[in-house]
Chains A and B, each alone.
Chain A
Amino acid sequence: SQTIHQWPATLVQPVGSPLSLECTVEGTSNPNLYWYRQAAGRGLQLLFYSVGIGQISSEVPQNLSASRPQDRQFILSSKKLLLSDSGFYLCAWSPQLGYNEKLFFGSGTQLSVL
């Protein structure tokens, strides 16, 4: 069966420090991968998605970047964190693209930038 791993679970970082969040999927190949951010008490905002190695699409211009160095690995990065980067970050995957494809989510990373 397929599983998705996301770490770390919580992270406290000072403003201006770098960031690296990692997500890996097991048990499937060529998944579509997504990074979402959830502000406190709000819905999810799509940040990046990827349909293959090295293929990254950005939905929202911001201080973050994403990379997909391997088929089942998705990394969210920042060179210098801002206070506004605080939030709950969720990685997700889907087997195919399509409006009937549900998303499978990781357990999330709570990022606090101080």
Chain B
Amino acid sequence: AQKITQTQPGMFVQEKEAVTLDCTYDTSDPSYGLFWYKQPSSGEMIFLIYQGSYDQQNATEGRYSLNFQKARKSANLVISASQLGDSAMYFCAMTLAGGFKTIFGAGTRLFVKA
């Protein structure tokens, strides 16, 4: 069965430092997409970064990068130079071929300290 696991319920990081949020996934389907979304206290889900299962290089979007290790089935999010505004819930998600269903992990709450 398809599953997303985020094992860190909460994380603290000092402002301006980098932080890694862990995500592992489980699927036997060769075609899939991995996503990270940010959910601030306002509740809206904001797309951060995408990695396709056939992509050879790790995805990057500004201060966000995705450390994709296919053999280990992990898709960790790295946030560089953390800012106070990065404090939020972060969700890892996976969409399979067919594309109508996106599965979300339980999320990691990130706290950025000044």
> Taking beta carbons and an 8 Å cutoff, which residues of A are in contact with B?
32, 41-46, 49, 51, 57, 59, 88, 90, 92, 94, 96-108, 110
Q: Which residues on B sit within 8 Å (CB–CB) of A46?
A: 101-103
Extra inter-chain contacts (6) besides given A107-B44, A110-B43, CB under 8 Å: A41-B106, A49-B100, A57-B100, A97-B100, A98-B99, A99-B53
Query: Which B residues fall within an 8 A CB radius of A?
Result: 4, 31-33, 35, 37, 42-47, 50, 52-53, 91, 93, 95-107
A42 to B96 Cα, complex, angstroms: 21
Given the complex, which residues of B lie within 8 Å of A41, measured CB to CB? 106-107
Query: Known contacts being A49-B100, A96-B99, is A103 close to B31, with CB within 8 Å?
Result: no
What chain A residues lie within 8 Å of B93 (beta carbons)?
A: 44
In the assembled complex, how far is the CB of residue B70 from the closest CB belonging to chain A, in whole angstroms?
A: 15
Whose C-beta in chain A lies nearest to the C-beta of B101?
Answer: A46
Contacts A99-B33, A100-B33 hold; do A106 and B44 have CB atoms under 8 A apart? yes
* Docked-complex contact B104 and A44, CB < 8 angstroms: yes
